Chains A and B, each alone.
Chain A
Amino acid sequence: MGGMSFAADPHAGIAAVTQAGSTEQLLLTLLLVLPIVGFTLTVVLGRRLSRPWIIAVPTIIVVWAIATYLSVQALIGDAFHGGAIQTTIYEWIPAGAFSVSFDLFFDNLTAVMLLVVTTIGMLVHVYSIGYMAHDPGKWRFFAYLNLFMFSMLLLVLAANFLLVFAAWELVGLSSYLLIGFWYHKRSAALANKKAFLVNRVGDIGFALGIMAIWTTIGTLDFVQVFDLLPAQLAGGHIEQWMMVGICLLLFCGAMGKSAQFPLHVWLPDAMEGPTPVSALIHAATMVNAGVYLVARSSPLFATAPEALILVAAVGIFTAIFAASIAFTQKDIKRVLAYSTLSQLGYMFAALGVGAWTAAIFHLATHGIFKGLLFLGSGSVIHGVHEEQDMDKMGALRRKMPITHWTMLIGSLAIAGIPPLAGFFSKDEVLGEAFKLGFQWVWLIGVVVALMTAFYMFRLMGKTFYGESHVDPHVEPHVHESPPTMTVPLIILAVLSVVAGAYLGLPLGDSTIHHWLAPVFHPALETMGVHAEPYQLFGIDGALILVSVAVATIGMVAAWRMFGFFRIHDRLDTVRALTARVPTLYQGSFHKWYFDELNDLLFVRIGGRVADAFAWFDVHIIDGAVNGVATLTRRAGDEVRQSQTGRVQNYALGIAGGLILIAVILLLVGTR
């Protein structure tokens, strides 16, 4: 929240890019080499190891240590003076004028992303030791997790659009493999196919956007693109509508990966994967790739305000749309999945209004508390023996105290109760939206905040409070999870409490603003956004009060309805309420019929169209080719009858022909 105080930052200005020193180069390379080596070794040896995680998990712990060292150097030690370092590993595609290098790029935005990705990645790896303990295919799981870490690190470290695209596809691949980890389950196999196909739709846009950047600006390197763009725009070499087109195409890719409306349909189904995967890939890291891409391309988007308005609109619409679905879902992971969609919508809304830092801030805090909530839900699912339906849970707080307390902290954080992490970042998003003149975004955002608080405490109530609806056979065996699972929960809970305050204070001149000011300075300058003084006892304070108030209202409403600290739940009240608005309830419960709509549009109607094309291909295209062949063969059969096989008949033909030619020559020649 608050004014952009980068003006006070001594390093504000165009971030300088320097070549990485040998130490940094080594460390950056290690960040990529270690996970891919871990992946390879686990694939080769994992099946024979008694503890298949023995390679994968320590690898990621080392990666986390390196990433933290580098990030702390950059952010707190200010080792690169707010600028960026770049290093070339090798020239990837040398093709004349088109040359793409395998370059790594490290600036403050990368540092923040690295912290989020490796911290949550490391905790999820540790958690998976416990969660996957009884799975026979766990070596495969850890191998895939390492592959994912490699891909994700490449994504945030890549220094040009094409390399990002390659990493983009790699994270898509690892996501596909992990959603379908239990591939013998039909629903999992269908879910990963769905994720893959929906992502293809977005990727087409991204790929076209990259091509458009190449043909207009003439390079794909981030630094060069951002350097060349202003002059080319000013010189009329690039027209403004082209920038709008490029940004919309890039945003199309971001929509696919970050599951924004209408490409959101794959994310809830992706919950078929093991819960640590949902926490790592489908809540805290990979789905943020779209936000990262737009933030990284901020100098491009800043030149295309029309595209930014669309980003904001899609984002805030997804936020309210997904929140409305989260109200009625029964599967604990699906509630969290829709909540993720909704929070990603917040981030895009922040990007769209030009609150770049707020978006990344929310990305970081959301990664922490949503990772926590997912891991907590995994602990619950583990405890009640693979049951995900919240109607078959309840009153678990005494049996799973650590899970309960950590998830409560996570829920308070996402609801935006001060002083937890979500309060600072969500408030920053909403406050910036209001102050930058997007009051409609703010208004919808406040409604979403209310809804968020409600559905999160509905989840808590149905799971941990009220009466127990656990299967009586399972009930006596319900237990708290092992320490490998609870320790990551506790660490994430602590982070959920302190991260927001650490990054978001002091209000209006926060740490994260200082960190990210050099990265977003050019974009803000292009957009003409100026820092306003922060008014705690003015507009900013009022906005804080509003969002805290609505969060409290939502929380208390759910509190009363879903049996918080009550022995009996108030299911009658809930039923009476839903019976009053059956259309809304059914609509929300059936996810506003989006799967049905897609089924109708793409499976039924699209299937018919495809059938028509298949018919055209088989009968017209193939028919034409085969027809020519058949005609030739038939003609040959017919003409063959005239052949006698006698050499003198042929000789007579030759002689006759010669005479004919001679006669013609004589006739023509004598003319």
Chain B
Amino acid sequence: MSQSLDAYLLLACGLFAIGTFGFLARRNAIAMLMSVEIMLNAVNLAIVAFGMFIPALAGAGQVIALFVMAVAAAEATVGLAIVIAIYRNRRTPLVDEYASMRE
């Protein structure tokens, strides 16, 4: 375990960037959901790190991280349900085919 907060934050930043890139670049809806998960985990990592390194937080970071996980699980459930519903309708998982929001 490193003694430097910066290291954790750098790692979190890297993960978040990867997630963002994935969300913006991948055309597959499932892959986009996975990217969102990566971003959420990056944020979780940052929160836990802050929780360990800043005494004032007194471990509250871990509690927040647990909340984020629960919410992320719910989000994944709903997201997957939507993706499946659209897939059944459109017969494709590729999001650039879903352009009907334009009108």
Contacts and interface: CB of A to CB of B under 8 A. Distances in A.
Interface of A: 643-648, 651-652, 655
29 contacts: A643-B101, A643-B102, A644-B99, A644-B102, A645-B98, A645-B99, A645-B100, A645-B101, A645-B102, A645-B103, A646-B95, A646-B96, A646-B98, A646-B99, A647-B95, A647-B98, A647-B101, A648-B23, A648-B24, A648-B25, A648-B27, A648-B32, A648-B95, A648-B96, A651-B23, A651-B24, A652-B24, A655-B20, A655-B24
Nearest to A658: B20
A650 to B, nearest CB: 9
Interface in B20-48: 20, 23-25, 27, 32
Contacts of B96: 646, 648
- Mostly helix, strand, loop or mixed at chain B's interface? helix
Contacts of B27: 648
Interface of B: 20, 23-25, 27, 32, 95-96, 98-103
Contacts of B101: 643, 645, 647
Contacts of B23: 648, 651
Given A645-B99, A646-B96, 19 more contacts: A643-B101, A643-B102, A644-B99, A644-B102, A645-B98, A645-B102, A646-B98, A646-B99, A647-B95, A647-B98, A648-B23, A648-B24, A648-B25, A648-B27, A648-B96, A651-B23, A651-B24, A655-B20, A655-B24
A643 B32 CA distance: 21
Nearest to A647: B95
A55 B96 CA distance: 86
A645 B101 CA distance: 5
Contacts of B25: 648
A431 B32 CA distance: 108
A499 B35 CA distance: 109
Nearest to B103: A645
- Mostly helix, strand, loop or mixed at chain A's interface? helix
Nearest to B102: A645
A614 B74 CA distance: 61
Contacts of A647: 95, 98, 101
Nearest to B35: A651
A420 B23 CA distance: 111
Nearest to A643: B102
A488 B99 CA distance: 92
A626 B57 CA distance: 57
Contacts of B102: 643-645
Contacts of B20: 655
Of A643, A651, A652, A655, most buried by chain B (CB within 10 Å of CB) is A651
B9 to A, nearest CB: 14
A665 B27 CA distance: 32
A648 B20 CA distance: 11
For the complex of A and B, the 5 pairs showing the least CB-CB separation, nearest first, are A645-B102, A645-B99, A645-B101, A643-B102, A646-B96
B23 to A, nearest CB: 6
A648 B101 CA distance: 12
B68 to A, nearest CB: 18
A211 to B, nearest CB: 59
Contacts of B99: 644-646
Contacts of B24: 648, 651-652, 655
A157 B99 CA distance: 79
Nearest to B25: A648
B27 to A, nearest CB: 8
A645 B103 CA distance: 8
Contacts of A651: 23-24
A555 to B, nearest CB: 93
A663 to B, nearest CB: 15
B41 to A, nearest CB: 18
B33 to A, nearest CB: 12
Contacts of B32: 648
